[in-house]
Chain A
């Protein structure tokens, strides 16, 4: 009886107040789309870090024959120098941080560069122009600086480079995008709360006659207030569902079809990540409606 009564009241309230309800749906939709986009961007960043940081190594470039670097003035790296560097990496103070060390000869480096290059730019290079490289895999990629400090001063080392630097700009961009999306989401969420508050207030005022009678005949406070709380929650949840649909479509058609087709070497977030975000979006929608309800109802449905 009560449940049917509440659902009936919720339905009536939404119908009578349909333009307000629709605006709540739309504002929640937009704000939660931004929240979802921010979350997906962060998931993308994390996914890329996991995928790339595992693969990417620290490269210690050793001196080639005619290096322009000052620290290579002594000529090409010698075997003794190479052993000393390897000793530092494998037995020295940074040995704990190092997972594996590969040695690439100058011929292998040459192969990798020329083989990986189909533009012809590097075809003039000779293996003798290059130095060998230690590729170092770190146990913890964040500890790069310690390893760099320990090795960059050694003789025979031309340069120590963390290949993560290449990606840092991309991550910086994605992080900035996350901030922008989260900022817009924040503003839109404030708008959503204000709008839900107004909707509930209008709804409560337009049904003052009912609530007065309910109060008079002794219905409980929760029964009086529940339809209004639910009205806000239903409208906000509808907005969340729209946002989820929007994100799903974006994942399906923008990311999986279009981006993957044009830039295939990146591991993108996809539809299944949208499902991970979805429950949170619904929870946020219900939370927003809850905050708005309890800010409003105390004043408009006195018990």
Chain B
């Protein structure tokens, strides 16, 4: 589903590479944690998959597409196959919960009928049924993140990228979000989650990919956060 072959990324010539010869393969339906401290290359890793950046060296394949050769006008089609969730939720403050989720479908040209059918289903899935008409500022942080997840997943993309989705949430709320992501993963969706949250990683016991200074230092099934480096 996602494959990086000997990928390096150098932002400014001569500087230390943000990613250095990284090879990773993530299968369809995997749940993968991407861990590492700030500056380890996590963000670059995610940007390469979203094709916000191109690799300096190496090949990137996502959802059957060779991103090195993907022309820029095809990029929107790639992004329709990747849902993205961020630490800061990125909701539209003047739109209701329903409108925020519907927006994602509107702007890729879905019909009214599809929207009316999919949005309530998705709000039900993330546990926000009954709160359709609330505005984001009327919701708790956890609820806002659920809206963001609903928006990312409403188009049923095969891949869900989460960049520190629990970074702004307290531990109890985070557990709820992780249950939701787990449920989404069980529908066959590949979930890749970058995080600092060691408790969550330790509890979930999923595959862990660790980056350090741009190098891949660990790729372990059923891993924990703070294992001594291999």
Contacts and interface: CB of A to CB of B under 8 A. Distances in A.
Given A213-B103, A217-B155, A303-B76, A2 B92 contact: no
Interface stretch (A171-179, A218-226, A263-271): A218-226
Interface string B99-128: 000011011111110000000000000000
A5 B107 contact: yes
B66 interface: no
Contacts, number: 59
Chief secondary structure at chain A's binding surface: helix
Interface string A1-41: 11001000000000000000000000000000000000000
Contact of A1 (B79, B81, B92, B111): B111
A223 B50 CA distance: 19
Contact of A216 (B84, B92, B106): B84
Contacts of A215: 79
Interface in B45-80: 50, 72-73, 75-80
Contacts of A223: 107, 109
A216 B83 CA distance: 8
Given A303-B72, A303-B75, A217 B104 contact: yes
A219 B83 CA distance: 13
Interface residues of A, number: 18
Nearest to A220: B76
B122 to A, nearest CB: 13
Nearest to A302: B52
Contacts of A299: none
Interface in A185-220: 209-210, 212-220
A212 B72 contact: no
B151 A217 contact: yes
Contact of A213 (B77, B92, B111, B155): B92
Contacts of A210: 92, 103
Nearest to A219: B107
Interface in A218-254: 218-221, 223-224
Contact of A218 (B90, B103, B106, B108): B108
A167 to B, nearest CB: 59
A5 B105 CA distance: 11
A215 B52 CA distance: 10
B73 A221 contact: yes
A221 B73 CA distance: 8
A218 B76 contact: yes
A219 B77 CA distance: 8
Given A217-B79, A218-B79, A221-B76, A2 B90 contact: no
B90 A213 contact: yes
Q: Which of A2, A218, A303 has the most CB of B within 10 A?
A: A218
* Residue in B75, B78, B107, B112 whose Cβ sees the most chain A Cβ within 10 Å: B107
Contacts of A218: 76-82, 108, 155
Nearest to A215: B79
Contacts of B111: 1
Nearest to A8: B106
Contacts of A216: 50, 79, 84, 90
Contacts of A220: 73, 76
Nearest to B106: A5
A86 B55 CA distance: 90
Given A221-B76, A303-B72, A209 B107 contact: no
B92 A219 contact: no
Nearest to B148: A213
A1 B106 contact: yes
A217 B73 contact: no
A69 B83 CA distance: 98
A160 to B, nearest CB: 70
Given A218-B80, A219-B76, A221-B73, A213 B104 contact: yes
14 contacts: A2-B109, A210-B103, A212-B90, A213-B92, A213-B151, A216-B50, A217-B79, A217-B84, A217-B151, A218-B108, A219-B76, A219-B108, A219-B109, A224-B107
When A and B form their complex, which 3 residue pairs have the shortest distance between CB atoms, in order from nearest? A218-B79, A218-B80, A219-B107
Interface of A: 1-2, 5, 209-210, 212-221, 223-224, 303
Interface of B: 50, 72-73, 75-84, 90, 92, 103-104, 106-112, 151-152, 155
Given A218-B76, A218-B77, 6 more contacts: A1-B111, A2-B109, A213-B104, A213-B151, A217-B155, A223-B109
